[in-house]
Amino acid sequence: MFKANQNYLRLQGSYLFSTIAKKVAAYTEANPDANIIRLGIGDVTQPLAPVIIDELHKAVDEMGKKETFHGYAPDLGYAFLRDAIADEYKGRGCEISADEIFVSDGAKSDSGNIQEIFSEDAKVAVCDPVYPVYVDSNVMAGRSGEWIPSEQRYSNFIYMPCTEANNFTPEFPKENPDIIYLCYPNNPTGMTISKAQLQEWVDYANRIGAVILYDAAYEAYITEKDVPHSIYECEGARTCAIEIRSFSKNAGFTGVRLGFTVVPKDLRDADGVSLHDLWARRHGTKYNGAPYIIQKAGAVVFTPEGQKEIRAQVSYYQKNARVIYDGLKDAGYTVYGGVNAPYIWLKTPDHMTSWDFFDHLLEDVHVVGTPGSGFGPSGEHFFRLTAFGTYEKTVEAIDRIKSM
Ligand code: MLT
């Protein structure tokens, strides 16, 4: 008789955002008149920018003509998009060439899949709290060890607590990891890292022979000068870092799907094996390329007109972040994040558990957020709100929370 992948049996419950969606659906069914405001999952609400819509229309028309029709996309992405991305890196002083960029259907897929190119016994370090995909994908791959219910953690992972005490920036772990996941600006805390601090991580990774998987999905939200937009702004990152980027949060592509991963050619394992070659091999075998239409739309993001329009959208969400941050502060909450990120991380009042606070908000004021403990044990007694709602609903949600 066949056996299922036993690693999957170690996963805890369902994916965090699916659990929340189910809870909200059950509540809505029981309370059909409740006017729910969703500030839970980080999904955008503003329509795609006009310049992107125009390009999508043009590309669709091209697909309808024999002369301009496109079949399979190149596995690693069209040159027009990879060149545009490489130029953006160059503009930031990062030495990344177009053939080190792998276009994909989004940062979630890449951050879940990237672990496949590492050995099964690689020691994984994650921030705590953390975007659940990094943890779950390594559980599926068999790297987690057992779940320890009393500690709400897996036995084989290295958890790097990000707490108020360390200003939500992890310290180097006591035990040396092989793979280190970092996400800045951070999901879920909305906090970030200075260039000097990130440089220390790069130096550390090079020193111990680890690789940093750097998720920069929220870089468009950086407002402060000293915050790096890319890990490749740090010296030595080419020999220790892979960077994952998204078009979801900067250009509203959550429903369109586009992202990319950078794997420098200098990045080699202990035996000199090129991670770039392995990721290319994986892409070639398991992926037929993001659609032409979508890649055309993605390339527009890097044009001056595209930049102007998407910057306006990012500013819209940044304004929401300010409404949430200031409103909660006024109401006496302890609040973090929101300055360089679209997430606000608040401390639950009266030491309530994250899930109790979730229920409290849902039932009393019909506002949905994300319980901090869903991101890891150090997220307990915290709660995440997203700035990706509409301005009107964000203002209303905060008014409702203030009235509690
Ligand atoms: C989140 O809410 O954490 C994100 O939307 C999840 C994602 O980007 O996949």
In whole angstroms, what is the distance from residue 261 CA to residue 113 CA?
11
β-pairing, 211-215 with 179-183? parallel
Residue 31, token pair as written in the block: 């309370």
Q: How far is the CA of 42 from the centre of ligand 1 (A)?
A: 5
Look up tokens 């420098």; give the residue: 264
**Helices and strands (H and E) in the chain: how many:** 12, 15
- Which of 20, 39, 43, 253 should be mutated for ligand 1, with most atoms under 8 A from CB? 43
Nearest atom, ligand 1, residue 249 CA? 8
Give pLDDT, residue 285: 96
Buried b (16+ CB within 10 A) or exposed e, 286-314: ebebbbbbbbbbbbbbbeeebbebbeebb
Q: How far is the CA of 111 from the centre of ligand 1 (A)?
A: 12
Q: How far is the CA of 266 from the centre of ligand 1 (A)?
A: 30
Q: Mean per-residue pLDDT for 273-295?
A: 96
For 240, list phi and psi in degrees, rounded to 5: -145, 5
Q: How far is the CA of 132 from the centre of ligand 1 (A)?
A: 9
In whole angstroms, what is the distance from residue 243 CA to residue 203 CA?
16
Q: How far is the CA of 256 from the centre of ligand 1 (A)?
A: 14
Chain segment 142-167, per-residue pLDDT in tens: 999 999 999 999 999 999 999 999 99
Chain segment 313-324, per-residue pLDDT in tens: 999 999 999 999
Give pLDDT, residue 75: 87
Under 8 Å between Cβ of 350 and 333 = no
Chain segment 340-383, per-residue pLDDT in tens: 999 999 999 999 999 999 999 999 999 999 999 999 999 999 99
Residue 270, token pair as written in the block: 């202990």
CA-proximal residue: ligand 1, atom 1 (nearest): 42
The CATH classification number of 6-47+305-403 equals 3.90.1150.10
DSSP per residue, 91-135: HTT----GGGEEEES-HHHHHHHGGGGS-TT--EEEEES--HHHH
In whole angstroms, what is the distance from residue 78 CA to residue 86 CA?
12
Q: At what angle do helices 292-300 and 79-91 cross, to 10 degrees?
A: 30
In whole angstroms, what is the distance from residue 85 CA to residue 124 CA?
29
Beta carbons within 8 Å of 301's beta carbon, 6+ residues apart: 52, 84, 247, 250, 251, 307, 310
Q: Is any atom of ligand 1 closer than 6 Å to the C-beta of 98?
A: no
Asked if residue 15 has pLDDT above 90, the reply is: no
Give pLDDT, residue 356: 96
For 294, list phi and psi in degrees, rounded to 5: -75, -40
Q: How far is the CA of 368 from the centre of ligand 1 (A)?
A: 15
Q: Count of residues for the chain?
A: 404
Given pLDDT bands bounded at 50, 70 and 90, which one contains residue 14?
confident
In whole angstroms, what is the distance from residue 127 CA to residue 171 CA?
10
Residue 32 DSSP one-character state: T
Q: What percent of the chain has pLDDT over 70?
A: 100
Give pLDDT, residue 360: 96
Given pLDDT bands bounded at 50, 70 and 90, which one contains residue 173?
very high
Q: Mean per-residue pLDDT for 29-43?
A: 96
* pTM strictly above 0.75: yes
- Which of 131, 186, 254 should be mutated for ligand 1, with most atoms under 8 A from CB? 131
Q: How far is the CA of 308 from the centre of ligand 1 (A)?
A: 24
Closest residue by Cα to residue 260 from 198, 308, 214, 300: 214
Given pLDDT bands bounded at 50, 70 and 90, which one contains residue 244?
very high
Q: From residue 313, give the alpha-carbon distance in Å to each of 31, 228, 316, 317, 377.
A: 33, 21, 5, 7, 33
Q: Mean per-residue pLDDT for 80-96?
A: 98
Give pLDDT, residue 124: 98
DSSP per residue, 223-250: -STTS-S-GGGSTTGGGTEEEEEESHHH
Residue 268 DSSP one-character state: B
Chain segment 199-232, per-residue pLDDT in tens: 999 999 999 999 999 999 999 999 999 999 999 9
β-pairing, 370-371 with 382-386? antiparallel
Nearest atom, ligand 1, residue 246 CA? 8
Backbone conformation region of residue 260, classed left if phi is above 0, alpha if psi is from -120 to 50, else beta: beta
CA-proximal residue: ligand 1, atom 4 (nearest): 42
Residue type, 86: A
Helix (H, G, I), strand (E, B), or coil: what is residue 147? strand
Nearest atom, ligand 1, residue 40 CA? 2
Class of domain 70-303 (CATH, top level):
alpha beta
Q: Is any atom of ligand 1 closer than 6 Å to the C-beta of 42?
A: yes
Give pLDDT, residue 130: 97
Q: Mean per-residue pLDDT for 37-44?
A: 96
Under 8 Å between Cβ of 264 and 49 = no
Report the chain's mean pLDDT, rounded to a whole number: 97
Asked if residue 188 has pLDDT above 90, the reply is: yes
Chain segment 325-338, per-residue pLDDT in tens: 999 999 999 999 99
- Which of 108, 127, 135, 221 should be mutated for ligand 1, with most atoms under 8 A from CB? 108
Given pLDDT bands bounded at 50, 70 and 90, which one contains residue 13?
confident
Start-end of CATH 3.40.640.10 domains in the chain: 70-303
Start-end of CATH 3.90.1150.10 domains in the chain: 6-47+305-403
Q: Is any atom of ligand 1 closer than 6 Å to the C-beta of 41?
A: yes
